[in-house]
Chains A and B, each alone.
Chain A
Amino acid sequence: MNMLNYIGRRLLLMAIVMAGVVVITFTISHMVPGDPLVANLGQSAMSNPEIVAAYEEKWGLNKPLPEQFILYVRNMFKGDLGTSIRTKRPVLYDLSVYFPATVEMATLATFISVVFGMLFGVISAARRNKAADQVLRAVSLVGISIPAFWLALLMLYVFYFRLNIAPGSGRLSLAFLSYKSETGFLILDAIKNGNMALLKDVLSHIAMPSIVLAASTMGLMTRTVRSSMLDVMGQDYLRTARAKGLTERQVIMNHALKNGLIPSVTMFGLSYGSLLGGTVLVETIFDYPGLGWYAYQSATTLDYPAIMGVTLVIALINCVMSLLIDIIYAFIDPRVRY
């Protein structure tokens, strides 16, 4: 019963935060300097009085701000996030095109950073203050400190320009450009249809950007896992385990890992959202048509409906993620009081 209460309370909090997110995106899109009509319709559509009138009517621009806000929310619930000035398509449609590409990349990056982050963190903690620990800590700090855009360029220079073993940019090679995706998720498509050539092409394009994107999260993950493992390893029940005559390996594998990895669940949840946001730099460099690329193109052309659409979607994903993490946490960590 307690658990249900807790989840209910968390859901309520999430709703409040989400409402706040909507208020902020609304405010920013009304902060655009100059005429909001020009900002949202673009110069060319302004010359057509019918379009202008229809737009004013739809978003209530001639009404007071609170009413505009209500219309904004109502349109949002209908799935209408406005029309992109640059692409002239509904923002929601654009998002549905670019979103899957970014989800594929962010998921792969999360996978890479979680696997290596946990591995490095556990080894680092087990070999505390020894050479392996120092090396792995340095590696994780390199991951955190290296500018993603610079790492991307270095990798492009070496693997594409010099060695020519990786494709330079994009999501697919020219040969596949006419490929129409069924799900939007190319990796899923390829596996479902057993299309190995497509799978190989997609993976070769997604590999470098995912590694670049993973670098900093991998570093943070290593740090989190190391410190929580060290925390656990100082506790009494591990001393008992050692006193029973277990080897250090058994102590770590069977006793320390279970509790030591709990904080990394939080890291995992937080990192997914930041990876989605972090795609701006990586996708811009690799010309990878995803959310980050779309956000960048929209920002440089002052395409407000579009960039606010991206911001809103990622913020909402963050909200849901943090809710999920809290619920998972309550299940796996009995110390959480709810």
Chain B
Amino acid sequence: MVKNKILRFIKKNPLATIGALVCILFFLVAIFAPLIATHDPLAQNFANRNRPPSSVHFFGTDNFGRDVFSRVVYGTRISLPAGFLVVIFSCIFGGIYGAVAGYFGKMLDEVLMRIVDIVMSFPSLVLAMALAAVFGKTMSNAILVIVLVWWPKYARMMRGLVLTVRETEYVAAAVALGEKKSHILFSTVIPNCVAPLLVMASADLGAAILMFSGLGFLGMGAAPPAPEWGAMVSDGAKMLNYWWVSVFPGAAIFIVSISFNFIGDALRDLLDPKLRNLE
């Protein structure tokens, strides 16, 4: 029964299946990075700078003679957690914020949602860059500033979800039982909105990783010499004849983000009732 369902999903969503497999592969790489990497990702070797890909250095070496393959492998330990942390923190903050706005409504809702409008009207990358420059360029600050520009999206989603759940009978029952409003919000309303919010948010993992590596590329992300993919692309950007220095880490970002987007696309279709009726 379950097996049939899975098979049907795979047949209907070949791209999502590929995406899921690739993501699992990258997670395994992150977990077993020390076993997979052929060199120390930070070890410099100036005698061996900018060497093209070979059987010793699969992806060649960079300007400091570091092994690009090992750096890409260890880079999974930076970019994947960063993407997840951005989405999780944005969801927690934006989710509670949106739930409060949607549940209590009226003036509070009006004020809270105007603040969302304000933050959303800022250009996210420019604002993130400005904030990263203020806070200092570290990996945790990069995550923090992306969360600061990202949470409004989830606040809007959550508010929408809460507005529908608020009208359900089980919430009416809780009200009739005389429970406190804040108690109903956290014990009845929010738990019923979390699952759809998380599904929607997971579709953003690819975008979160893109944004994080974009900051890294601009030199506002994880501090060197950490093997962060965006920063690695930027290492090679000024020397096009050593293409391998930026091509491989860039490809890693691209593959991870498109895999998450393959999954996200299927999830979106699944959640969209209009599209479901058409199939």
Contacts and interface: CB of A to CB of B under 8 A. Distances in A.
Interface of A: 13, 16-17, 20-21, 24, 28, 31-33, 128, 134, 137-138, 141-142, 144-150, 153-154, 156-157, 160-161, 223, 227, 230-231, 233-234, 273-274, 276-278, 280-281, 284-285, 292, 295-296, 299-300, 302, 307-308, 310-311, 314-315, 318-319, 322
A318 B218 contact: no
A302 B126 CA distance: 13
B194 interface: no
Contacts of B132: 299
Contact of A318 (B121, B125, B240, B260): B121
A233 B274 CA distance: 11
Given A33-B134, A142-B258, A300-B219, A278 B125 contact: yes
B237 A20 contact: no
B59 interface: no
B226 interface: no
* Chain B interface bracket (under 10, 10 to 19, 20 to 34, 35 or more): 35 or more
Given A150-B254, A153-B250, A311-B123, 15 more contacts: A17-B121, A32-B134, A146-B254, A147-B214, A148-B214, A150-B233, A150-B251, A157-B243, A227-B275, A231-B274, A234-B277, A273-B121, A274-B124, A280-B129, A307-B133
Contact of B230 (A147, A234, A285): A147
B257 A145 contact: yes
Interface string B3-33: 0000000000001000000000000000000
Interface in B112-131: 114-115, 117-127, 129-131
Contacts of A278: 125
Given A28-B134, A154-B247, A318 B220 contact: no
Contact of B131 (A28, A145, A273): A28
A120 B126 CA distance: 30
Contacts of B123: 273-274, 276-277, 311, 314-315, 318
A296 B125 CA distance: 10
Interface string B238-279: 001101001100110110011011100100000010110110
B217 interface: yes
Contacts of B152: none
B254 A300 contact: no
B125 A147 contact: no
A157 B134 CA distance: 34
Interface in B125-175: 125-127, 129-134
Contact of B240 (A32, A161, A300): A161
Q: Chain A at the B interface: mostly helix, strand, loop or mixed?
A: helix
A311 B133 contact: no
Interface of B: 15, 114-115, 117-127, 129-134, 206-207, 210, 213-214, 217-220, 230, 233-234, 236-237, 240-241, 243, 246-247, 250-251, 253-254, 257-258, 260-262, 265, 272, 274-275, 277-278
A128 B265 CA distance: 15
A281 B122 contact: no
A153 B275 contact: no
Contacts of A33: 134
A121 to B, nearest CB: 14
Contacts of B122: 21, 24, 311, 314-315, 318
A145 B250 CA distance: 11
Contacts of A128: 278
Closest 7 CB pairs of A and B: A277-B123, A150-B250, A20-B118, A145-B258, A318-B121, A145-B257, A314-B123
A197 to B, nearest CB: 27
B254 A314 contact: no
Nearest to B123: A277
Contacts of A32: 134
Given A147-B233, A234-B277, A318-B123, A302 B133 contact: yes
Contacts of B133: 299-300, 302, 307
